[in-house]
Amino acid sequence: MPNPPPFRVIRQNESVPSITGSWLAYLNKDRWDDWGKYCTQFYLTLVDPAGTKHSIGNLKIGQRGLLPSGGGADLQPGYRRPDIPEAFHALDEQFFSLGQENEYYANLRELGPDVRKWVLGNLRDVAFDAARFEWAKHEDVMGESLLRSVSTTMVEGQYRRIAHGGVNLTPYHFSYAPPLDVEGTSDSLSFSVIPDSVPPTNVQVIIGRNGVGKTRLLSNMTKAVLGTEAEREQFGEFTWDHTVMGPSLSREVGRFSNVVLVSFSAFDSSDLVSRDELDQSRISYSYVGLRQDTQHGTTTNPLQPSPLGAPKTNDELADEFVRSLKECQVGSKLTRWKNAMKHLEYDLVANTAGITNLIDTNLSSEDTRERVLKIFDLLSSGHKIILLTLTRLVQTVEEQTLVLMDEPESYLHPPLLSAFVRALSELLVDRNGVAIVATHSPVVLQEVPRSCVWVLRRVRHEMRAEKPGIETFGENVGSLTREVFGLDVKQSGYMQILKDIASKYPSYDQAIAGLNNQLGTEARVILRSIYLDLQGQ
């Protein structure tokens, strides 16, 4: 800010004056004592040019080389309290500060980026300045006082994100109860998302074999979120566990304000939401996929509406990408889009270099638009899908968004699928959102912990949901496949061939010779176990 007003240190109970004309910052001293060693706490109040007071919150200020002391009238400089001046434009480089709660940074964020940067920069805040934190965290006063009630993880995660204008991550604890099946009940699914958890928990996964009901489940979830209370019996119901989330959180925290449905199935349009359903919903909704989600004119005949669920043409998908890319050129969306693309660089660098360079140019220009369309047209189907999906997600994902995604593996090879899940998770961290991904790919399971996975099975006419019996994050794909699909694996593919071979040859060695040694390590282990079982009989 130009000509920033001075910060002023005042007594603990001294009133903050309402002075007009420019921004002022008042630091009320606090007698709070940390372990009888340090007294570093202040309360920050800002006064805007109109004279309105803004309560910001508690912070603690440390100083390089500050030593502990029990206090007393003869306290020398360099002990117990930071030696800050009564009025200043900015603290010297020897000082460092740290807010003591999320609200401190959130309150500054609400006053706009100029005020936020001015306050945090001049108070030498360590959540705002990562380099300062690196040396300051080795100071005794940092550990004994500034970090007494705040963890290093919180400083480097939540606080730093908000200090730079990001959103305040909130926990999500909710359940979805599907509608009653025709001939039975279905299990409820509970979901829990913990901010800054490692590994991240903001991508939840539902996995099961084809035909188990994953797409129908996502469709019902979408309509349950968007629908009215009267529609609960038809589509199911979401409930929120505020006892787990904590009494300090409002009843609106952890709920969704926006829904994005992502589905690239070329056959199923049952998950689409009609215009009448949208008109009745108080929640924003976007659809990303291959089918028309509204009745609008086609590319070939703008005057003739295409039916809901009709497939989009290649030209329509390309135009959608360019329109979405243009919207991602604005503000923080540009940063989020570039960050998402970084996850895909190893796979897409040769194909998308032109597009990533053109994001900074004028996409309203017909020449630039045609260049983007030409590059997009040269991409493979999988690369087109992932570029369009991520670009549309950056465009549509707002704060507290629920992303519902159906089988992203349909067009993506395993490394690209893994990169996509990581890009999605990072985007949702930035926007305080959650994704529920329906899949039959164990590659997706590798990217999330067991606590984030539900395995769907059909028991007669009932859908059953259960947690995997093994940890999933980083687990071997073969182990995950056996865990999820069990008997399906044993009765299909190469497993059936191995059983047939074992019934044909009397010994393991003869079977190997009969297969001309064309067996992988896992197949050899399985074949040997089949022969051991036969011998045991």
Same domain, 303 and 270: yes
Same domain, 208 and 262: yes
Whole-number Å distance between alpha carbons of 358 and 369: 9
Please return the burial class of 292, using the count of CB atoms within 10 Å of its CB with bins 0-12, 13-18 and 19+. buried
Same domain, 341 and 212: yes
Question: Domain of 454?
Answer: 195-474
Same domain, 531 and 461: no
pTM: 0.75
Same domain, 430 and 298: yes
pLDDT tens across the length of the chain (537 residues): 446 568 999 999 899 998 888 999 999 999 888 988 999 999 999 999 999 999 999 999 999 999 999 877 677 889 999 999 999 999 999 999 999 998 999 999 999 999 999 999 999 999 999 999 999 999 999 999 999 989 898 899 889 999 999 888 889 999 999 887 644 556 889 999 998 888 999 999 999 888 788 888 998 999 888 876 667 678 888 998 866 544 444 444 457 889 999 988 766 655 566 655 655 567 888 899 888 865 443 444 434 444 556 788 888 999 999 999 999 988 789 989 999 998 887 665 545 556 777 788 888 888 888 888 888 888 888 888 999 999 999 999 988 899 999 999 888 888 889 999 999 999 999 889 999 999 988 999 999 999 999 999 877 777 788 999 899 999 888 888 888 877 555 556 777 788 888 889 989 999 998 888 888 877 887 788 788 777 765
Specify the pLDDT at position 525: 75
Which of helix, strand or coil describes residue 117?
helix
Q: Answer whether residue 140 is part of any domain.
A: yes
Quick one: three-class SS letters along 406-448? ECHHHCCCHHHHHHHHHHHHHHHHHHCCEEEEEECCHHHHCCC
CATH number for the domain spanning 309: value is 3.40.50
Cα–Cα distances in angstroms (integers) from residue 487 to residues 338, 490, 493, in the given order? 43, 5, 12
Same domain, 263 and 298: yes
Q: Answer whether residue 174 is part of any domain.
A: no
Same domain, 259 and 130: no
Whole-number Å distance between alpha carbons of 211 and 213: 5
Q: Answer whether residue 130 is part of any domain.
A: yes
Same domain, 216 and 356: yes
Same domain, 92 and 203: no
User: How many H-runs (helices) and E-runs (strands) does the chain carry?
Assistant: 22, 16
Same domain, 101 and 66: yes
Same domain, 211 and 73: no
Tell me how many domains the chain contains.
3
Same domain, 215 and 245: yes
Q: Answer whether residue 171 is part of any domain.
A: no
